[in-house]
Amino acid sequence: MHIMEGYLPLEHAVGWSAVAAPFVIWGSVRLARSLDSSPESRLLLGASAAFCFLLSSLKIPSVTGSTSHPTGVGMGALLVGPGPMVVLGTIVLLFQALLLAHGGITTLGANVVSMAVAGPFTAWGVYRLCGALRVGSAVAIFAAVAAASLVTYSVTTFQLAIAFPDPVHGIAGSLATFGSLFALTQIPLAIVEGLITVVAIRTLSSVGLLRGSKLKLSPDSWLNERPGVAVAPSPKDA
């Protein structure tokens, strides 16, 4: 997902930065409000950022100019909301670009759109959908996180395809090429990330560290709770 420094044409790099900027500004407002209204959320914000940084640093070479890896944004979106997670994901991507040469500064906007915007909002939306369908919490969390990971790479595939269309088949040809190569690694990675996140949230719940989260799960019954009844965030929490 992390498109490397200098890989995108200048106009694409600038364009994706322009797309990402409003989300980062809006997410910063949501983050500030969250800290003001729920000071206890600082621990969850830190845990979400650390989880994202750790998982998304485990890069696996996939396609020239990019890598495959878990994203870690799904858990943060469920715990603190997609708005704050946009900011946390952006910070993670910036640190990885500066400290790990993972991604880049010129491609930061594109990477933010795919991982810090598309991923968290997908997780939040899928979790809400599972709530409407009255799916159990464990399945809802797994589905939301796995979907966020797959959508992140779908957006990256689109970004690469429009930047480097196939000489014969155009953008559609590049979408097929990049998508098929990403799928080999990202589908199993998405499944693994979903399972890891379920375990991580259960662990946080068991030690009482979900205070202030959007899930509000109890340590002894969270597997049986319905996301549509007590644990799904409302639109204003985004």
pLDDT tens digits for range 102-127: 889 999 999 999 999 999 999 999 99
What average pLDDT does this structure show over 30-49? 88
50 lies in some domain: yes
Mean pLDDT of the chain: 85
At 225, which CATH number?
1.10.1760.20
pLDDT at position 204 is: 85
CB-based burial, 74-107: b 16+ in 10 Å, e otherwise:
bbbbbbbbbbbbbbbbbebbeebbeeeebbbebb
217 lies in some domain: yes
Closest CA to 84 of 226, 212, 227: 212
Q: How many domains are there within the chain?
A: 1
Q: Does 215 score more than 60 pLDDT?
A: yes
Residue 229: pLDDT band by 50, 70, 90 thresholds?
A: very low
Tabulate helix, strand, coil % of the chain (nearest 5): 70, 0, 25
68 lies in some domain: yes
4 lies in some domain: no
Bigger pLDDT: 99 or 228?
99
Percent residues over pLDDT 90 in the chain = 59
153 lies in some domain: yes
pLDDT at position 57 is: 86
pLDDT at position 1 is: 66
Domain, as residue range, for 205: 10-237
Bigger pLDDT: 90 or 177?
90
5 lies in some domain: no
2 lies in some domain: no
pLDDT at position 136 is: 86
1 lies in some domain: no
